[in-house]
Structures are given as structure tokens and as C-alpha cells.
Amino acid sequence: MRKKMGSVFAAAAITGSVFTIAFAAVYPYSDIANSFARQAIVQLTETGVLHGYANGTFMPNAWVTRGQFLAYLMNALTPYTDVQPASKGIFFSDVPAGNWAYEVVGSAELAGWLNPYWIDLRTGFHENYAASRGDAASFFVAALEHSRLHYTLPAGVSPLAAVTKLGVFSGLPASADPVYLTRADAAVVLENMLAICQQAALHEPLGIVQAVPVAPTAGAVVAGGSPIVLGFNYGESLANDLAEDEQDTAVNTVVYDGFHLDSTLQFTGTLPASFADTLHSYGKKVWGLFGSEQPDLLTAALSSQTQRTALVQSIATTCETAHLDGANIDFENVPGNLRSDLTAFMQQLTSTLHAQGLVTSIDVAVPSAGSWSEAYDYGQLGNTVDDLFLMAYDEHWSGDTTPGPVATQQWVQDNLQTVLQDGVPASRVILGLPLYTRAWQTNDPTQMHSVPLSTMDAMLADGQATQFSFDAAANQWVDRYRDANGVQWEFWQDGVNHLQAMGALAVQDHLAGVGYWQLGDENVTQWPALLPSAGNAQ
């Protein structure tokens, strides 16, 4: 085994702690034998650049987080930069002392590796977000500019264009995601980065890369390209929610739906701090959902400055005691005359939570939702909160007696464009997508029920449901099946491919990310096919 470079520490999303790895006879991890990046993973593990998990796995197909990639890069570049995890200063509220990435992120900040012109650092470092190619390029170029390799990024050239020209992303399979990096991808990218540095050190300083026209980073939903992949917990026990959230490795932000207004204008529900603490150890953010769909309660709560202040303080206290990273406001069926009151409430809440280092988000109905969208001043809200979650589903809803799809791509696209044209920054929009479809009784369309994505796929796979017709307007198949009582039902195929194509709109428009209602309606195995990529935009 070659001499290890740099410090030995674990950039692990599961435990976030330091551990040693017992090397197997052939491979250091039990799950890399069939990985295209096996050689890079083994070599970089032996040299101390990469680390796996305490259970002996590397999880090559999981997304590498922003914090993990930065830690691995710091290990790799120590011979050229002398930068090691050592900082004692808190530079970002979401990476405090005690966070596994605290010293890594602090040292990178002090060394000039975190350029705010290339990476959005306004609301924190977000070490648990999936690392994008833009993140990797920005970290690497900034590190090179502060290294002994004498590299200067030419004017007018983005970090992504520069490192792409240098070959940093060479060797990734054709199927690789064009935006996010898996842990296997990261191994190959880091190996390429090391090769570039080694060649520069042995021969000539890195040459000037000519400016080349490069399309905006697909899905680079903010300046650094760190997309949110959000999912909602709803209707399950706390234990089931936690087990589900731990398994959904693609989801980096969990919204716990557990706090709702009651007749006393108090939010019901409690959440032990251990829930968020456990998910934090997996590298996930946790937001609490504070909601109501009752117009009378919302009127009483929002129309009074005193009541608005009381709600804000209640939310802030809950976030603090439950160790939440932010609040998600889900006020629906809000009377239209409360439009300015709702905006004022969100402004006050955002100001209060930002002072605590927390984020705010609000769920909004699509502009075409009639009375359900009247109270949303999209432009004002979008420029107030950190994230605006656009509920781009229920084109045909539970009370709709006209059967149809939950969301067609054109409907989603039209509503999204309206929101953006109202002045909401694209970098603050999370595109909400459904993990379900709806089935209508063929002979009585007043009878309907939702069908989870996993159930729909299973029904199609085993022949319980069959394709009946193709709806050209919706660009979806209509399927039929008979239940145990012989009753015939039909549903529109809002399936994995359809969801991925709609999610590609987030890539196309450089949104903050995508979000799904609700976790548990999918199988864990469906996530790789669900996540959007640029190639699916139509």
C-alpha cells in the first residue's frame, strides 16, 4: 500500500464520523466489484483520498454530497496546496462546530476555495446537497488558483468550461447524469484532477484554457449547481417516516408534515430532536411543514399583526427545539383578500428564521388553480423566501368528475413559466411533482382514488393493468384494470418516464430543484429513473 496523502478522515453522509476501513482481500468495499469506477475507488482509497462507510460499503451509485467532494478534494490536493482540515472558525451557520465537515469547510473558506461568484453561499454552504459538476469545477479551479501550480482562470471562461476542456469529466459513462455526480463519478473525476496536477507539476504550469461557448450547467439550479431533491413525509408513523427517509438516498431535503393550525390558532404536533439529528447524520436537511387549509383559521391567524407575530414565534421555537433546518409553510385555500397579509407573514417569518440561520419555504398552488391561487403574490413571495415550492400536480384533482392525468407536461410548463414571468427567481423555485396518479371508475367518474407510483408500476408489470388508449393531448397512455369486485377503473400513466421528463423542466430552466409528494408512494429502486436529466426535456 502506497503512502497516504493528506489527512485521514471520513466524509461520510451516514455517520459523519471518523472511522477506519478493514480492507478486503481484493476490494476495500463490498459493493464496488461491478462499478465502472472500481479501479479509481481502490487506488484513491489506498492513498487516503477516498473513504467509505462503517459497514464496509462505498455506495458507488449514491450521490456524492458537496461536503464529501470538498473533503476528498482537500485530501487529494494536499501535496499541491498544503490545505488540510484545521479551521476553528464558523463561517457558515449550517456547518457549525460538531458538524463532520466543520474543519473541512472552514479551511476551504480560509484558503479561498469557496468563490461566492461561482457558488451560491447566501444561505449557507449546504454540505449535504448533491454535488454537481459545477460544484466540482468551482472547488477545483479555486484550489488551483491558490496552489503552487500557477493557474489563473481566463477572463470570460467559467470554471466548468475550463475543467471540461482539461478533461476532468473524461471517463464517465455515457449514462452519467449531466448535472449531479455519484460517488463513483467523483472517484473518476478526482483521479482526473490528480493526473492534471501531477502532469502540471512535472512539466509545465497549467496552460491558459481558451474561452469556449458552453451551455449553462444543466440543472445548475443556483450559481454553483447544487440541486434540491425534496420529499414530503405524510400520514405515516414517525418510525416509518424515519426508516423511509434513511433509505431514500436520492432525497437530500425531507419535509416532515406534522404541524397544523387548530381552533386555538396554535400548531399541533411535536417532533423529537432525534428525528432531525438522525437524518442530519445521513447528510439530509429537515424542514418542518406548518400548514392549514381552513379559510376561517387562516383569516384569524393572518389578518392580525399580533397573531402573525405569535405564529412566527411559535414556528421559530419549534424549529429550534426539533433541530430543524427550516420551515415549510403550507397554507392552502387562503382567501384572496389575505394576499398582502400572507406576504407580510412570510417576510416576518423569513427575517426571524434567517437570524437563527434557518431557511424558509412556501408551498403554492399553480397560477391556474383559480381561487386556490388568488392569495399568492408569486413575485413578492419568491423574492422573500429561500425556496418557493410550486405544487405542479392535481391538474385533475380528487374532486374532479372529469377523468384525466394528474399533471401533463404542457400544463406544468405553462404554470411554471407564469410563475417565472411574475418575477420569481428561477434559483428559488422547487418544481413539485406527484408520486401518484388517480384512477376513475369507468362507469361512474364521481368515484376515484389515488394510485401510488409503485403500485401503478407493479400493476402494469404483472398484467393487472393494460394499456387501453393513447391520449395525444396529454401525451400519456390511459390504462384500465378491474378490482377484486370486478369494477373497472382507468388511470393516466403518470409514471417514472413521465415524471422524469417533467423534472427535466427544472434542469432546462435552472431551478432550485425538484420535490415529490409524497415519500412512500415510490419504491427506493425507482429513484435513479425518477431524477431528471437534461436529455429528457422536450
pLDDT at 156: 66
- Cβ–Cβ contacts within 10 Å for residue 443, how many? 9
Q: Kindly report the CA angle at 187 between 242 and 222, in degrees rounded to 5?
A: 65
* Host domain of residue 147: 38-202
Of 391, 408, 435, the one marking the end of a domain is 391
For 138-164, the pLDDT digits (tens) are 999 999 988 888 788 876 677 888 888
With cell 507539476, the residue in question is: 201
Number of domains in the chain: 2
Q: What's the mean pLDDT in 305-313?
A: 97
Residue 265 belongs to domain with CATH number: 3.20.20.80
Provide the Cα torsion 517, 521, 523, 527; round to 10°.
-20
Pair 198, 282 in one domain: no
Q: How far apart are CA 275 and CA 323, in angstroms?
A: 9
Q: How far is CA 34 from CA 29, 31, 60, 80, 507, in A?
A: 11, 8, 10, 32, 29
Residue 24 included in any domain: no
For 457-478, the pLDDT digits (tens) are 889 888 899 988 988 888 889 9
User: pTM for the full model?
Assistant: 0.61
Pair 303, 177 in one domain: no
Pair 168, 282 in one domain: no
Pair 44, 186 in one domain: yes
Residue 425 included in any domain: no
Q: Which residues of 503-534 are buried (b: 16+ CB within 10 A; e: fewer)?
A: bbbbbbbbbbbbbbbbbbbbbeebbeebbbbb
Which is more confident, 200 or 530? 530
Pick from 58, 82, 84, 61: nearest CA to 71: 84
For CA atoms 518, 522, 524, 528, give the dihedral sign: negative
Residue 474 included in any domain: no
Residue 62 included in any domain: yes
Q: What's the mean pLDDT in 299-325?
A: 97
Residue 141 included in any domain: yes
For 31-46, the pLDDT digits (tens) are 999 999 999 999 999 9
Residue 113 included in any domain: yes
Pairing of strands 253-261, 267-268: antiparallel
Pair 88, 186 in one domain: yes
Provide the Cα torsion 234, 240, 244, 245; round to 10°.
70
Report the SS3 class of residue 10. Answer: coil
Pair 373, 317 in one domain: yes
Pair 175, 79 in one domain: yes
In order, the DSSP letters of 224-255 are T---EEEEEE-SS-HHHHHHHHHH-TT--EEE
pLDDT at 226: 54
Pair 269, 130 in one domain: no
Pair 70, 189 in one domain: yes
Pair 239, 194 in one domain: no
Of 202, 219, 237, the one marking the end of a domain is 202
Residue 245 included in any domain: yes
Contact 256, 286 (CB under 8 A): yes
Q: How far is CA 315 from CA 118, 272, 318, in A?
A: 33, 15, 5
Pair 231, 198 in one domain: no
Residue 422 included in any domain: no
Q: How far apart are CA 142 and CA 124, in angstroms?
A: 18
By CB neighbour count within 10 A (0-12 exposed, 13-18 middle, 19+ buried), where does 25 fall?
Answer: exposed
Pair 231, 89 in one domain: no
Q: What cell does 253 get?
A: 431535503
354 has pLDDT over 90: yes
Q: How far is CA 407 from CA 171, 199, 535, in A?
A: 37, 52, 20
